[in-house]
Structure 1
Amino acid sequence: MPQAPHDSEAADNSQLIEDFGLRIGRAMGWPPMAGRLVGILMLSPDPMTLSELQQALGASKGSASEMTRLLMTNGTVDRVKLPGVRQAVYEWRADAWVGCLQHQLDQTKQLLELAEAAQERGRYLPPAQQTRLLDMRTYYAFMVEQLQRLLEDYRSQLRHDG
């Protein structure tokens, strides 16, 4: 599926993929392989099968599968079925950064729900612990509000730029 790049282009892509592996992997708390997969799929002109990803990563089928699931969960990669192609393929989402921000918002909402429940259940705790739980709820409520605003602003920017 993907076209073979020229030698210098392949070297540049290889270095870029390694940069993604180190930097995105580290920043997101992911294994470097997930960061490399980001680079591979972002730079690929075509969707790739799991076998192609496995080969590009130099990884086992299980590891490649685990990394694609991680990226799908984080909103950047889609698994699609193409007409006439037996195997499913993976592709970088056209709205990957929206998906990434939406994933962060969803995670933060879950933590806000936890904070609210903890505050309710901890209403009989001593004042110091109640304050900690209130601070937690206040933090996550603030973060949800800000992430929602960021997501709206980002989507709006995309509509104006495109």
Structure 2
Amino acid sequence: MSQAAEGVNPDAHDALVEEFGMHVGRAMGWPPMAGRAAGLLMLSEKPMTLAELQDTLDASKGSVSEMTRLLMDNGTVERSKEAGQRHFVYRWRDDAWVGCLQHIVASTTQLRELAEHAQVLGAGMTAVQQQRLSDMQEYYHFMVGRLETLLSEYTAARESHRTQP
């Protein structure tokens, strides 16, 4: 399976890709293949084609396509087509952690909007139901605010760190 860079222990590389499959997949609620693809792309120093990902992960085209789409949707991987090339390539975004946090903010914002809409629709429901809908709205308002602040702080810290000598 190894796509380790020259001079890198291929066993350590492969073990880390497998660790990503197990831990990232579980933590994110993803299939292990998505975690393995994330680990592989994060450790790859060059973009990889779908065929290279398939071969390295020993997975079907459909599975790899689905996993790369998941990783793109979650803000960590990008797809591009280099000039003069026939195939798309996938690579770990330089700002993957910003992209990941942006995805979390966007997802949580969608849930806040649902909570606001649910509270309007639930206006005629019982006091218990209305309280639960109100709690949901309060929670998502809180979370979106905190996540937006966290994204802003992380982005600023990242930029500051990159501009320091």
Is 1:73 equivalent to 2:73 in the alignment? Answer: yes
Q: Where do residues 67-106 of structure 1 align in structure 2 (5 Å cutoff)?
A: 67-106=67-106
- 2:12 aligned partner: 12
Post-superposition offset of 1:45: 0.7
Letter in 1 for 2:112: L
- Which one-letter code corresponds to 1:24 in the other structure? V
- C-alpha spacing 1:31/1:3, structure 2 compared with 1 (3 Å): closer
TM-score normalised to structure 1 length = 0.96
Residue in structure 2 matched with residue 139 of structure 1 by the alignment: 139
Deviation of 1:159 after TM superposition, in Å, equals 1.0
Residues 49 and 90 in structure 2, CA contact (< 8 A), matched pair in contact too: yes
* Contact 2:77–2:90 under 8 Å retained in 1: yes
The number of residues matched between the two structures is 161
- List per-residue Cα deviations over 1:105-138 (Å, max 9, x = no partner): 0000100011000000111111111000000000
Distance of 1:21 and 1:3 partners within structure 2: 16
In structure 1, C-alpha distance between the alignment counterparts of 2:58 and 2:3, rounded to whole Å: 18
Q: Does 1:52 align with 2:39?
A: no
Describe the shift of the 1:136–1:24 C-alpha distance in structure 2 as closer, same or farther (beyond 3 A): same
Report the TM-score, using the length of structure 2 for normalisation: 0.94
- Whether 1:110 aligns to 2:110 is yes
The SS at the match of 1:59 is coil
> 1:19 and 1:43 mapped to 2: Cα distance?
13
CA distance in 1 between counterparts of 2:59 and 2:131 reads: 48
Preserved CA contact (<8 Å) 2:4 2:13? no
Q: Following superposition, which runs of at least 4 residues in structure 1 exceed 6 angstroms of deviation?
A: none
Q: Deviations over 1:74-108 (max 9, x none)?
A: 00000011112211100000000000000000000
In 2, Cα distance between equivalents of 1:16 and 1:117: 43
- Note the residue ranges of structure 2 that are not aligned, 5 or more in a row: none
Q: Which runs of 5+ in 1 are unaligned?
A: none
RMSD between superposed Cα atoms in Å: 1.5
SS at match of 2:154: helix
Matched position secondary structure for 2:65: helix
The aligned amino acid for 1:90 is: Y
